Structure 1
Amino acid sequence: MSKKVLIMSASTGGGHNRAARAIKEELEQKTIDGFNIQCEIVDSLKLVNNTMDKIISRGYEKSAIYTPKAYGSVYRFSETSLVSKNEFKGNLLTSLMAKKFKKLLNDSKPDLIIGTHPFPMIALSTLKKHSDGSSDHGLHLGDHHNTIDVPPMISVLTDYTTHSTWIQNEIDYYIVGHEYVKELLAYEGVDTEKIKPFGIPVEKSFLSNREKEEVLNELGLSSDKLTVLLMGGSFGAGNIKETLEELLDIDRDFQILVITGRNESLKEKLEKKLATHNHNKNICVLGYTNKMNDILASIDVLITKPGGLTTTEALLKDVPMIVPYYIPGQEEENLDFLSNCGAALRTTKKYTLSVLLKVLIDDPSRLDMLKKNIKSIRKFNSSQNIANLVEDVLLSMN
């Protein structure tokens, strides 16, 4: 009989779902006792309630774009001792999720659960904690005698940092992006045997790419010029308009590719700005694209906000980063990781984007140094290693 794995994700930013797809791709190639592993991705917030999904997913998106400081304040508060680990289990969202997941587990009967987002893992940890049919401690999960079997659980952290929402006693393994993150979890009291620094998973197709000349020519850019890519994540967050203006005024010879993601309004504003701004740069403005594997392999410098998956993809393609903006919280901590590893430059009041980029253009050895540091920290084969771990856990249950 085939084994079944549920991957619990959520649509707050693009990274959680992309990591889930990467894991699913590898897992479905595995066989146990002659049967392929069945794998299903569950969008956890949509499962709970479409309205809840819109409030949380769009709320994250809107706060990222319009009120990043407020988002950062909430993030930091939830890390304080006032909101300690395992204290998220009694809130309304957790209760709603736990009820829905109880039905999901009864219907689906998975052999193992993987989470690429902390919210569903909190709810599932709640269920596991009370799976002996004891009191629901105010969670009102239904009939106490209707016990539920919660299988082994693996959390996949999609940023280069930790947060107390990820840390639950009921989690069997944590997959993290780097040994630094393993140390952060260990400092929080997680057993080091449970922590696997495999890296953040990306889909296998991302690792292949077309030739640089072909890709840049398609975009109307030259393969002979230094190419700077400016972007701000899947929904175009970050001060892209102001950053582009700064790039246009730099007195060096380079070309610019801007990707605005799904933010059509931003794309229109940039195109209007370029029509009126006097400059001598070759520029291409793109909206959403599914060719990031080709594009990242064809550029020289990436100017971006440091989301977990964006950061991982840049590392895998050897692309040095300059980070002039970020969403306070996990992205700020991703930037701390990149800076400590010498894989990215961060702008400051004095060390502006203009100053940093001019030095990289004038002294290519600086770019080479960043690339060397990137090579020392990037992690290939994350999805395969996760799939191997899942296989080992499932075999141990036979």
Structure 2
Amino acid sequence: MPKVLILSASTGGGHNSAANAIKEELVALGCEVSVVDAIESASPILNKIVSEGYEKSAKYVPVTYKAFYKISSGKSRKEDLDVLVRRIIGRKILHLVNDFKPDAIIGTHPFPMMALTRYKEQGTINVPVVSIITDYTAHTCYIQNSVDAYIVGDVDVSYILKNSGIAPEKIHPFGIPINSSFLNTERVNTVKKNLDLDDKFTVLVMGGSFGAGSIKESLMELLSSRYDFQIIVVTGRDVKLKAKLDELVEIMRPKKTVRILGFTKDVPELMTISNVLITKPGGLTTTEAIIKGIPMVIPYYIPGQEAENVDFLLNNGLALKTFKNYPLVTIIEILMDNPERLNEIKERMLKRSKADSSLKTAKLTLDLIESFSNKGQVSDL
């Protein structure tokens, strides 16, 4: 039975989601799989800095996160960061590998890959390493010559990697892995009934797993429209925001149907029910929207990788972005009055949809294990 170690991290929801999606497919193919929050396991202190630092800076002081993202993108800074990460978590990541003795390693966050690089180059680790890039861009942290395969969200990202010196044969534009259950539509009518929604135009507002973005402002703007549509707001884990919005709706008593939800597992159903998604463009949310074919409107985003996700979406006609002369309400009203615009975006999204990335990634991993075995490259760890 092949053994696969998946190294993830809890910075946003995309890394763990991709890890678990791939695990599901590998297990179905007969593998023994261990998913480890690599940064938390190797260094709780670094994990607190990285995970909480990302969440708080992205949510409250995005200019700080933007500055860090930009500085760390430089070649010299990237080399410094490589060394720093290896010093902090390198040996503990190596211990994880030695304890589990995997036949392959998959990483859904760049830091574990950075920590493994030197050991891979030295031959201490002689198993295939697969790196999953969970955004529609590629920060320089992901660029490691010792990685055997890169899984990217779209062919556009392939060019970013190739222009960064990665060999084309290592790059696989399978899409960002998502759980196969996301495609299940059996509960759509149940969710719709539970929320007491009808068949009118529906706008879904989200801000990621921790509720980042100007969700309150977006809701207020939507409620100012004279057009008749219903609104679903998902605040994620932000309990305080949900309480504020519940109070706001109670005070305003709008004529529009408004449903305020906290963390929910019904996002697949909500995307199926809705006509438009107002959100920040995280890698996971973007992937889910493309697969569901729900046009995106972007009024807010976290500087850094999400800004580059916006570039990808706009360049490919997969989303609309608010501007001074195109505020949120104007865009929604345009789309309601011109449904062909919605359909055009939806058709483009469905053409770019890659719902089988998890399975393709699992099969590629098994192929790499077999290839390494045939070459006599796999050693006992």
Q: Could you say whether these structures have the same fold, taking a TM-score greater than 0.5 normalized by the shorter chain as the test?
A: yes
Which of 107, 110, 120 matches 1:115?
107
Tell me whether 1:154 sits opposite 2:154 in the alignment. no
**Structure 2 match to 1:5:** 4
| SS at structure 1 position matched to 2:236 | coil
In the TM superposition, 1:290-301 aligns within 5 A as 290-301=265-276
State the Cα deviation string for residues 34-74 of structure 1 (Å, max 9, x = none). xx321110101111122322221111111111011210111
Tell me whether 1:49 sits opposite 2:43 in the alignment. yes
Letter of the 2:113 counterpart: M
Scaled by the length of structure 1, the TM-score of the pair is 0.91
The Cα shift of 1:97 comes to 1.1
**Structure 2 match to 1:89:** 82
State the Cα deviation string for residues 73-108 of structure 1 (Å, max 9, x = none). 111111124424x443211x3212111012122222
The Cα shift of 1:152 comes to 1.4
Cα distance in 2 between the residues matched to 1:105 and 1:365 = 52
Instruction: Tell me, yes or no, if the aligned pair for 1:230 and 1:240 is still in contact at 8 Å.
Output: yes
Is the deviation greater in 162-171 or in 277-286? 277-286
Letter of the 2:150 counterpart: Y
Cα distance in 2 between the residues matched to 1:107 and 1:71 = 35
Equivalenced residues, count: 373
| SS at structure 2 position matched to 1:297 | helix
Instruction: Tell me, yes or no, if the aligned pair for 1:5 and 1:114 is still in contact at 8 Å.
Output: yes
Which of 58, 69, 75 matches 1:64?
58
Instruction: Tell me, yes or no, if the aligned pair for 1:220 and 1:284 is still in contact at 8 Å.
Output: no
What RMSD over aligned residues (CA atoms) do the two structures have, in Å? 1.3
State the Cα deviation string for residues 336-385 of structure 1 (Å, max 9, x = none). 11111111001112211111111001111111111011112111210111
Which of 240, 255, 258 matches 2:233?
258
Instruction: Tell me, yes or no, if the aligned pair for 2:211 and 2:236 is still in contact at 8 Å.
Output: yes
Cα distance in 1 between the residues matched to 2:119 and 2:151 = 21
Which of 84, 88, 94 matches 1:102?
94
State the Cα deviation string for residues 299-340 of structure 1 (Å, max 9, x = none). 110000000000101111110000000000111111111111
The Cα shift of 1:278 comes to 5.4
Instruction: Tell me, yes or no, if the aligned pair for 1:211 and 1:298 is still in contact at 8 Å.
Output: no
The Cα shift of 1:212 comes to 4.3
In the TM superposition, 1:177-196 aligns within 5 A as 177-196=153-172
The Cα shift of 1:277 comes to 2.3
**Structure 1 match to 2:67:** 73
Instruction: Tell me, yes or no, if the aligned pair for 1:105 and 1:150 is still in contact at 8 Å.
Output: no
- Identical residues among aligned pairs (%): 47
Unaligned runs of 5+ in 2: 374-381
| SS at structure 2 position matched to 1:28 | helix
State the Cα deviation string for residues 181-217 of structure 1 (Å, max 9, x = none). 0011111111101000000000111111136443222
The Cα shift of 1:292 comes to 1.3
4+ long deviations beyond 4 Å: none
Instruction: Tell me, yes or no, if the aligned pair for 1:249 and 1:279 is still in contact at 8 Å.
Output: no
Instruction: Tell me, yes or no, if the aligned pair for 2:127 and 2:369 is still in contact at 8 Å.
Output: no
The Cα shift of 1:261 comes to 0.5
| SS at structure 2 position matched to 1:258 | strand
**Structure 1 match to 2:376:** none
Unaligned runs of 5+ in 1: 31-35, 132-147
Tell me whether 1:24 sits opposite 2:23 in the alignment. yes
Higher relative contact order (CA 8 A, sep 6+): 2
Instruction: Tell me, yes or no, if the aligned pair for 2:208 and 2:280 is still in contact at 8 Å.
Output: yes
**Structure 2 match to 1:201:** 177
| SS at structure 1 position matched to 2:273 | coil
Which of 337, 344, 350 matches 1:369?
344
In the TM superposition, 1:124-143 aligns within 5 A as 124-131=116-123
Instruction: Tell me, yes or no, if the aligned pair for 1:341 and 1:377 is still in contact at 8 Å.
Output: no
In the TM superposition, 1:329-340 aligns within 5 A as 329-340=304-315
Scaled by the length of structure 2, the TM-score of the pair is 0.95
Tell me whether 1:216 sits opposite 2:161 in the alignment. no
Cα distance in 2 between the residues matched to 1:69 and 1:353 = 23
State the Cα deviation string for residues 257-280 of structure 1 (Å, max 9, x = none). 000011100000111111222532
Letter of the 1:68 counterpart: P
Instruction: Tell me, yes or no, if the aligned pair for 1:112 and 1:153 is still in contact at 8 Å.
Output: yes
Cα distance in 2 between the residues matched to 1:287 and 1:24 = 27
